[in-house]
Amino acid sequence: MTAPLSHPAKPAALRYVKQSPLKRALTNYPGVISIGIFVTVVAMVFSLVTENFFSVSNLLTILRQAAPLCIVAVTMTFVITTGGIDLSVGSVGAVSGVLAASLMSSYGVPVLPAIAISLAWAPW
With CA atoms as reference, report the closest residue to 121 among 96, 103, 87, 85: 96
d(CA 23, CA 33): 11
Confidence (pTM): 0.47
Q: pLDDT by residue for the chain (124 residues), tens digit each?
A: 555 555 555 555 556 667 788 888 888 888 888 999 999 999 999 999 998 888 999 999 999 999 999 998 898 888 888 887 777 878 888 999 999 999 999 999 999 999 999 999 887 7
* pLDDT score at 11: 58
Q: Which amino acid is it at 42?
A: V
3-state helix, strand, coil in the chain (%, to 5): 70, 0, 30
CA dist 68 and 89 (Å) reads 13
Contact by Cβ (8 Å): 103, 109: yes
